[in-house]
Structure 1
Amino acid sequence: MTRRPRPAIGARLSGLVEGVEALSQPATTTLPLEALQPGQFQPRVQFASEGLEALAASIREQGILQPLLVRPLSGSRYEIVAGERRWRAAQIAGLAEVPVLLRDLSDEGARLAAAVENLQRENLNPLEEVRARLGVAAATLGLTPDEVVPRLFALDRRPEDNPGAVERLDTVFGALGRESWRSFVKNRAALLSLPEDVQAAVEGGLDYRKALVIGRAEDPTRRAELLDAAAAGATVQALREQVAPRRVDADPARTVARRLSDRRTLTALDPARRRKLDRLLGQIEALLDGN
């Protein structure tokens, strides 16, 4: 099995946040497979059977080259922080025990180590990568993944409110590579809010940009049609036209009214913009009343 050289993401992040330095350390002991259980912070949710079989074949020949990172639980049990795929392949290969690096990690450290370990793999699907990057951002800011997206949007709008947090995010995402945290939260974090049918299509290979367009369609039947169109080769622009066709003769007043009646448009506004909108609506109402 040909192995791609391991990127140096973990090394670049070491010392910035807890947990990452453990990814490159040697095994401290071995543990029985049955004493281990999957981790709660694993961004990867799919383990392709053919990939596991290939890894199992490599393990039979060479053994496990990189130890699993685990942390202790109660009752002589251990949680896999990084290495669940190796653990699954070891079961297929017929191993009784695996080499592990045992560390007492906090939830934040475990979440970060799991995220970084997965980002160093080449076959994550876009949803898994988004979960992993959100895990890194959450650990950097000391938040849960559920809390981190609104915080990232808030920091993007008003970086002066917490320049230290902005600097940490700039440093960490610079080490991760590919994109800034601002670009990430604006362009890809929304994948996790897509309907389940669209998320399943992304896991099956649908381009995330097409998925974000298709996700705007509220009717499941319409989404299914758009997913079929995407599978047949429809471009992002073509899908946009099908979701929201251009109306050359559209009445601007009707367009504004339609947007104001859209619940998602209103709830997406931050408090300051919502107050401005309320003032404008008050002025329009006064004009219509002749005041």
Structure 2
Amino acid sequence: MKSSDYPGRAKPGGMVGVRKPARVVGDGESPAQAPTPSPITPVQENTLIQPMEGEFILASEAALQDIGVDQIVRSPYQPRLTFNEQALEELANSIQAMGLAKPILVRPLPNGMYELVGGERRWRATKLLGLSKISAIVRPMTDTVAMVLALTDNEQEDLTDYERGRAYQNALESGDTSQRALARQLGINVSSVSRCVAMMSLPDSVKAILDDKPWLITLNYAPKFVAFGEQDPQKLSDVVKKMAEEGMQQEAALRYLAKPESPQSPRHRTQVQTIQGIGKLKVAGDKLELTIEKSINPEKLNSKLQEFLASLDATELQAGD
């Protein structure tokens, strides 16, 4: 029995993709009198996205080329802030053994150089191998398209939530897209874009630390860090610095931030007192610092202090007395 499900079978609701029959020449009509059929315009499958007015455009279509590794410059839209050196070496070994499986994506610049759009890890690994050429798709495109494609390329690799938020924010600040449109272009949920962008509300001092170590704060904890940043940005900055330098984990950092401040004892309180005509005396914990005015001779003051200190009874200065 012949199957009813076979290639080319018409789908319900009309015939799709069937060519219209040629017109039959009627009685008394010569072939020369028959209307000439309209030429079929081929569909351009690889139509280029046209650059915005005023931008450099290459006349030729996008093409696969071998270009010089040193002819390529980094993209200003690269979302990745850090590169794992060990992972790059492993990628370089793979390229050396198997070749470059996927070409990089670049766009031409007016000065004859190429701006990297996608594939910076592959480009860096190729440089590690000391190769002079790399396979690349050369494609003219606008800044907006380059920004979106740079994000799309890196979405396939593990970007941190902070790196995503930073890149999404840059794209939104360009004014050519919205959160919903950006999410649609990247094929992700708009709530993911919104939550990552919210990380950009962190204090500048915290973002400066995350620019160097973007993995410290993840999306599931970010709202709490943002909230603490609004309450006490300096305390949050100090805690995130501990995370970066001492390896404090997010949960421990949040517990520390949530603890109420205990009042400082007099021993740990910083006090500053002005001594008229001499300078300022600062007491901070176990440290005592005297800053003198320019008119004071430090050697004479030191001599007086030595005399004064020698006259003191140390037992009268013990803590707790």
Q: Which one of 224, 227, 231 corresponds to residue 248 of structure 2?
A: 231
Instruction: Determine whether 1:212 maps to 2:226.
Output: yes
Distance 1:56 1:131 in 2: 28
> 1:127, 1:202 within 8 Å by CA — same for their partners in 2?
no
Unaligned runs of 5+ in 1: 1-13, 20-25, 144-164, 247-291
Specify which structure has the higher proportion of strand.
Answer: 2
Q: Which one of 173, 176, 187 corresponds to residue 142 of structure 1?
A: 176
Q: Does the C-alpha gap of structure 1 residues 83 and 169 become closer, same or farther in structure 2, counting only changes over 3 Å?
A: closer
Q: Does the C-alpha gap of structure 1 residues 112 and 201 become closer, same or farther in structure 2, counting only changes over 3 Å?
A: closer
Give the share of equivalent positions with the same residue, in percent: 22
Distance 1:214 1:197 in 2: 17
Q: Which residue of 2 aligns with 1:179?
A: 191
Q: Which residue of 2 aligns with 1:55?
A: 91
Helix, strand or coil: the match of 2:234? coil
Q: Which residue of 2 aligns with 1:74?
A: 110
Helix, strand or coil: the match of 2:137? strand
Unaligned runs of 5+ in 2: 1-45, 52-61, 263-321
Helix, strand or coil: the match of 2:117? strand
Helix, strand or coil: the match of 1:101? strand
Q: Which residue of 2 aligns with 1:33?
A: 69
Offset at residue 238 of structure 1 (A)? 1.4
Q: Rg larger in 1 or in 2? A: 2
Number of positions where the alignment pairs a residue of Structure 1 with one of Structure 2: 201
Q: Does the C-alpha gap of structure 1 residues 87 and 172 become closer, same or farther in structure 2, counting only changes over 3 Å?
A: closer
Question: Which of the pair has the greater relative contact order for Cα pairs under 8 Å at 6+ separation?
Answer: 1
Q: Does the C-alpha gap of structure 1 residues 65 and 192 become closer, same or farther in structure 2, counting only changes over 3 Å?
A: farther
TM-score, with structure 1 as normaliser: 0.55
Q: Deviations over 1:22-64 (max 9, x none)?
A: xxxx961110111111111111121111011011001001111
Q: Which residue of 1 aligns with 2:141?
A: 105
TM-score, with structure 2 as normaliser: 0.51
RMSD: 3.9
Specify which structure has the higher proportion of helix.
Answer: 1
Q: Does the C-alpha gap of structure 1 residues 137 and 232 become closer, same or farther in structure 2, counting only changes over 3 Å?
A: closer
Helix, strand or coil: the match of 2:191? coil
Q: Which one of 197, 201, 217 corresponds to residue 190 of structure 1?
A: 201
Offset at residue 185 of structure 1 (A)? 3.7
Q: Does the C-alpha gap of structure 1 residues 131 and 53 become closer, same or farther in structure 2, counting only changes over 3 Å?
A: same
> 1:56, 1:90 within 8 Å by CA — same for their partners in 2?
yes
